[in-house]
Structure 1
């Protein structure tokens, strides 16, 4: 590892656990502020700037199912930064592995998340947790690909749960698309953070959850003109 990589790893661990502690017991408004603060500091340490395409399409308030493609570990930070000027606050759908992670555990448990255990025999508890969050006027943030896409295709297959969440909770779907090759940008930034780098994220038109003309993945692709 280079010196910069070692410094970055130490700083990231410190910052993540520091904010994990600060987030404990906070309300939704404070969680949003702290998540944005955390994201901004970590992105600044990497010298990564976020360019928001079609920012005017971002709603200023309301409840949504925010869906995004997923390539890197910093994708949630990118989305938090992109939505920071709105009052939209979302609970992230988080895998069980993140809850028990030494690195992310405290932050994940306290930052406003809903646990997804893919090994559970029943999913009733998961959908009940989502219902409780939406009753409190929160949005839901999800990566419908389910995990980071490490393939050459632009977009992996979507899991079925996203559409179910939108329909069951009557949530308009807010699509965002990280256009840049963020995984390559992140690797370069970790190796050398002296150079400023930019990641583009695009805000798309709202998708009506009642419109069943296309599966969500196809509707998402149409919004962003993604071809395969």
Structure 2
């Protein structure tokens, strides 16, 4: 990798990339597009939709393989995990202190990184989508605040297919067969008409919705489907994780029942046989 000036690529980052690249190459069939929309120099924000816990790896794989050593905004709890948190720090990722007095520090650290020329990656939804059909939810305004404060490009990167490797809300892969994963970077979202406006709730919501709309439009092209008319708002529409996992568990039980049905039929025939039948 030959990253642009200002985009750091420390030894730990190189080591992690070297270890993970073969795993990602073997577990996915990559269909990538839009690399020409990644700024060659200077800081920029990369935003993506978030369907599965595997998304950060496919997102990073796309960027790193295009010479962009991305730095993620990640929830602070991850940095408290023994050894893993140490790696995150050494790689250069940025902890997000949500709901604490240090919440502003995260944006300041991200702003400093962007001013140095780094690429900062953000999942604007703040968590895995809870939309029943896995469309992007209503975004949080942190990405808009950062974008308007720094005026760096915001590149929307839609991805689809990582859930075929690691299902939604799961932590482990459910297949060893390589799965197709599409990742497409679009042109930067134009927020220039908002730069001179006060950075208040109205402006932040307008910018956030514009970013999320671009992500959703790109995802719709990838999926070949129309998105829902109404965007899922987790604060209003609720959390679908429990319902989704229950449905998956029921589907697995049904698959197991169908696989075992021939054996069960044989067993029933043997039980129903009489001595005269033998």
TM-score normalised to structure 2 length? 0.62
Q: CA deviation at 1:207?
A: 1.0
* C-alpha contact (below 8 Å) 2:165/2:174 kept by paired residues: no
Name the counterpart of 1:148: 128
Q: Which of 1 and 2 has higher RCO (CA within 8 Å, sep 6+)?
A: 1
Name the counterpart of 2:155: 174
* C-alpha contact (below 8 Å) 1:39/1:78 kept by paired residues: no
TM-score normalised to structure 1 length? 0.75
SS in structure 1 at match of 2:128: coil
Q: Name which of 188, 197, 206 aligns with 1:206.
A: 188
Name the counterpart of 1:190: 173
* C-alpha contact (below 8 Å) 1:204/1:224 kept by paired residues: no
Count of matched residue positions in the alignment of Structure 1 and Structure 2:
199
Q: Name which of 32, 35, 38 aligns with 1:52.
A: 32
- For 1:56-80, what per-residue CA distance to the aligned partner results, in whole angstroms no more than 9, with x for missing partners? 4344333211000112222121122
* C-alpha contact (below 8 Å) 2:156/2:189 kept by paired residues: yes
> Cα distance 1:55–1:128, how it changes in 2: closer, same or farther (>3 A)?
closer
Name the counterpart of 2:97: 117
> Cα distance 1:135–1:59, how it changes in 2: closer, same or farther (>3 A)?
closer
Q: Name which of 204, 215, 219 aligns with 1:220.
A: 215
Q: Which has the larger radius of gyration?
A: 2
Q: CA deviation at 1:208?
A: 2.3
* C-alpha contact (below 8 Å) 2:43/2:115 kept by paired residues: no
Name the counterpart of 1:89: 69
> Cα distance 1:184–1:102, how it changes in 2: closer, same or farther (>3 A)?
farther
- For 1:155-213, what per-residue CA distance to the aligned partner results, in whole angstroms no more than 9, with x for missing partners? 11100101001111111101101122x223324983441x2222111111111232447
* C-alpha contact (below 8 Å) 2:129/2:137 kept by paired residues: yes
Q: CA deviation at 1:107?
A: 2.3
Moved more, 89-98 or 148-157: 148-157
- For 1:82-114, what per-residue CA distance to the aligned partner results, in whole angstroms no more than 9, with x for missing partners? 123433333210101111124732222222111
Name the counterpart of 1:98: 78
Q: CA deviation at 1:144?
A: 0.5
Name the counterpart of 1:41: 22
> Cα distance 1:175–1:105, how it changes in 2: closer, same or farther (>3 A)?
same
Unaligned 5+ runs, structure 1: 1-26
Unaligned 5+ runs, structure 2: 1-6, 195-205, 221-225, 229-278
